[in-house]
Each structure stands twice: as structure tokens, then as C-alpha cells.
Amino acid sequence: MLLIRPIESADYQALYSCAVESGHGFTSLPVDQTLLERRISRANEAFKKADVEAPGDEGYLFVMEDTESGEIAGVSGIEAAVGLTEAFWHYRLGKVVHHSEKHNIYNALETLTLCNDYTGVSELCTLFLREPYRHSLNGRTLSRFRMLFLAQFKQRFSDWVIAEMRGVSDENGDSPFWQWLEQHFFSMDFPKADYLSGVGDKVFIAELMPRFPIYTSLLSEQARAVIGKVHDNTRPALRLLESEGFRFRGFVDIFDAGPTVEAEVCNLRSVRNSRVVPVEIVNEAAKGDDQQPHIVCNTKLQAFRAAQVQCKPGIDSLALTGEQAQHLNLEHGDDARIVAL
């Protein structure tokens, strides 16, 4: 079974491997021991907080573990509220109209304006599945289980949630959008800027970023072409989020111009369709054509567990074998939250 659980200190080496494998542009997983250890520690503290009634600076980080081999297959995270302790920057796409009635000239020009509009919202982040496990709906499970976590512990999160999508960059980590910014405003390449942001050194953004709206017509053709576009490896993740109800509203990353998508938590498909049902322990797992893959999670916080399980759609109770229940920290009569994959 591939089991999703809160990250532990012993998972550091696996998290570091995920950071290395994720490559350039994956800001939330920089190859930095101090930062990765801090993220694990911060997640441990978040899961231990028992009296949270409103979203704060909590960061929840999960790993997907192969229970047979003990290997970590991937990682996934949720930020309770972004921008509370340090500025959370985006570019907002807008328009400015230049109109001369006398000369019958009308120009609607696209602009990029630096903003902090998403301050305080929750964020789905740090989704990475290692190559050998990219099959059998594992990626879908590793992403969508977070919707169930949001539904179960809604008081810990904002009413709105966002996800930043990795923008276009090449195999060397060079971003066409950043190349234009680097040429005119910065003196560092994209990997370095992305790394500094990932380790929390964001002061240079406020110091060096252009403070006034940028006309996109002034950008290079290559930079304009990638505004709001995603990296090829990110397309499946974007399609999945769009199927959940996430939409692009004109906010892009300040480094690679990748799109940020947003949704109201209560309108997410997995939140609306998930149900809480009682657990029954059975001797043998049910088989048949009517069995379909579901995401199943318990309703506990510090002992949270989630996994993909085969069961009938629309069931009034969830039948689990003793082994499945043990992995999911569930007992007969406990509640479980489920949603069809």
C-alpha cells in the first residue's frame, strides 16, 4: 500500500532526494539542508497544535510511503495562510487604456503589477511524485487527498486556496521571463533567484523589482510568450486542479510568470463529493467489477493517514481488512472520509 502520512524527522534524506529530483523552478523544495530540516520541524509543530481555530503560519507536509519497502514515493504540502510572516508576491495581469478621441486612437495595453493580493489564503504546495511511482492514479491520490484534509480540518484553513504552477524554463533552469527581468533589473540568473526565494531570502525582491506597472509590450517576445504558461512537467497537475474547480484569474509568478490558480474550498469537487462513513473490519477485501478506486483518510490530525482503496461507489459504510485499517489508523466503528478517484 502507498500510505500518505505526516512527515517525520527520519524522512529528511528522502525529502532531500525529492528536492534534488524536482529540478529547477520548484521553489518550495530547494536543495538546502537547513531549510528542509526547518520545514520538517515546522510541519511537526503544525500537526501537534490541537487548539487551532483560525489559519495561521502553519505548514503541513506529508509523504507518500510504500509500506512494503519503506521507500518514500513522494511529498505533498499545504500552507494554512501565506504571507503572514513575510511578503507573498505576485504579478497581477491588468489593462490600461490609452485613448485619444480627437485622433481616433484607442489602445488597450496589458500590464503586470506587483502585488500581495493573496496574503492570508491557503496554498496547496510542494507536490512531487518520484518517477517510479507515476502510475496507477498515484499522482492524483497524492494531490487530491489534500482536499479531504481541507474538508476535515476546515477551521485550520482559509475559505480560499491557491496553487502556484511552475512556469516555463529549460533543462538548464533558464526562464525566458526572468531573462528579461535579469537584463533590466537584476544581476543574477534564474536558478539563483529561485533558490534565494525558496530559502526565505526575499528582501531582494522588494529592493530590486520594478515598483511600477510593466507594459508587457515592452517585454521581449520570448518573455511575453510564457506569461501564464506552465512547464511541460506541470501540465498534468494543472489539469487535475482545473478538474477540481481551480481557475486562473490573472496572477502569475514573479520569477517565471507561471500561473497561480485559485478556488473556494467549499466548491472544490473533492470537498463537495467527499463523505464521512463508518468503518467495518472484514476478513477479506471485496472483489468485483463494481469496485472502484477511492481516496480514504481517517479523521485524525497528528495520526492522519490516507491511501487509495477499492470500494463500491455510494457506500454507507467502508469495509476494510484488518491490515488496511491498521495502516490507516482506523478501527471498527471509526469514521473515515472518502471520495471516488
Catalytic site positions: 231
Reported as half-sphere exposure (CB side, CA atoms, 13 A), residue 23 has a value of 16
Q: Are residues 235 and 173 in contact, defined by beta-carbon separation less than 8 angstroms?
A: no
Q: How many helices (H) and strands (E) does the chain have?
A: 10, 15
Which DSSP string do the residues of 58-87 spell out, in sequence order? -EEEEEEEETTT--EEEEEEEESSTTSSS-
Amino acid at 228: G
How far, in Å, are 91, 188, 214, 294, 323 from residue 316 at the CA level?
Answer: 46, 58, 55, 14, 21
> Rounded to 5 degrees, what angle do the CA atoms 341, 278, 55 make?
70
Indicate the burial class of 248 (C-beta count within 10 angstroms; 0-12, 13-18, 19 or more).
middle
Extract the C-alpha cell encoding 275: 463523505
H or E element that contains 123: strand 122-129
